[in-house]
Amino acid sequence: MRTNLPVSRREHEMCDGMTLMSTTDLQSRLTYANAAFVEVSGFEIHELVGQPHNIVRHPDMPPEAFADMWATLQQDQSWSALVKNRRKNGDHYWVRANATGIKRQGRTVGYMSVRTKPGRDEVLAAEKLYAAFRTGRARGWRFHKGLVIRSGLLKGLSALQWMPAAWRVRLGVLGLLASCVAAASLPLGSMAATGALMAGAAALACLWIEQQVTRPLKAVLAHAQLVACGQPARQCSRRQTAGTVATRPDRSVLQAVPWCPDQ
Ligand SMILES: Cc1cc2nc3c(=O)[nH]c(=O)nc-3n(C[C@H](O)[C@H](O)[C@H](O)COP(=O)(O)O)c2cc1C
């Protein structure tokens, strides 16, 4: 485990809407970093490319997080979690990292990570949780594809965190089916009452699928569109300017993608 020191305990806050991107080879040596990554990390591009990605590792990150990251990537799945990174000068910055494999003809040839600015509440929660892992106070909890969930027999208590989207849809449909069977077998006296009960169950199932599947997918799509557009530049507000610089959009990408929002 690489320990990059010194650390200043000073946070460098990213601008809203910034996207930090990097790609690596299979050994996690950096092959590309976008302008925003270079800016926020505080390194020069030539100091990053060719170096292992732990060049930005912050000693506050629990090793369990990266073990989970590698286990997830090696299962051909993507990993998303909050990561505290160290800048070259020892300051730190928090990102929501989304790492995934890069495929060529069905083979993984490298990895990429796209990072955005996380919410303040998420950062505070992660700061506490990661400190608990580092100090051995996180017994009964473990990382799972970037999420921190209950371990062992209590895993079920975290089901709403780790349940795959397919099972969320199935659960909605099965819940609706069970409610309809129950409504049909209840001695309600009239078809209207049975129908009303079934309609209520259908509305609940729609709400569940909307909240658990449709809305998150829409958010992912909106974000993917912004990333594909090279992310329009957004100036930091006065409050955010300390040590941060906005990204510049890549015009060639903007012109190539006709459906970019806000262009
Ligand atoms: C695509 C990709 C992105 C990564 N991004 C980061 C990152 O932003 N910060 C970080 O500390 N490690 C990142 N890693 C993980 C590092 O390669 C490394 O596993 C981690 O820093 C732990 O280093 P250690 O083995 O020295 O403890 C990334 C790995 C990959 C494949």
Q: Where are the domains of the chain?
A: 1-154, 163-218
Laid out side by side, the sheet with 30-33 consists of 30-33, 20-24, 107-116, 92-104, 79-86
pLDDT tens sequence across 38-67: 999 999 999 999 999 999 999 999 999 999
Protein residue whose Cα sits closest to atom 20 of ligand 1: 54
Pairing of strands 141-144, 30-33: unpaired
Residue 159 to residue 165: CA distance in whole angstroms: 12
Residue 179 to residue 201: CA distance in whole angstroms: 6
Note the helical H segments in 10-138.
35-41, 45-48, 63-74, 120-134
CA 119 to ligand 1 centroid distance, Å: 21
CA 85 to ligand 1 centroid distance, Å: 9
DSSP classification of residue 90: S
Burial (0-12, 13-18, 19+ Cβ within 10 Å), 42? middle
- Tell me the CA distances in angstroms from 121 to 117, 127, 129, 212, 249, one per residue in order: 12, 10, 12, 21, 28
- pLDDT computed for residue 256 by the predictor: 32
Protein residue whose Cα sits closest to atom 1 of ligand 1: 112
Residue 74 to residue 258: CA distance in whole angstroms: 34
- pLDDT computed for residue 188 by the predictor: 75
Question: Is the beta carbon of 54 within 6 A of some atom in ligand 1?
Answer: yes
Task: Enumerate the β-bridge partners of residue 113.
Answer: 22, 99
- What stretches in the chain show pLDDT beneath 70? 230-263
CA 215 to ligand 1 centroid distance, Å: 30
pLDDT tens sequence across 182-228: 988 888 778 888 899 999 999 999 999 999 999 999 988 887 887 77
- pLDDT computed for residue 258 by the predictor: 33
CATH of domain 1-154: 3.30.450.20
- pLDDT computed for residue 231 by the predictor: 61
CA 69 to ligand 1 centroid distance, Å: 8
Give the length of the chain: 263
CA 216 to chain centroid: 12
Residue 54 to residue 80: CA distance in whole angstroms: 17
Question: Is the beta carbon of 53 within 6 A of some atom in ligand 1?
Answer: yes
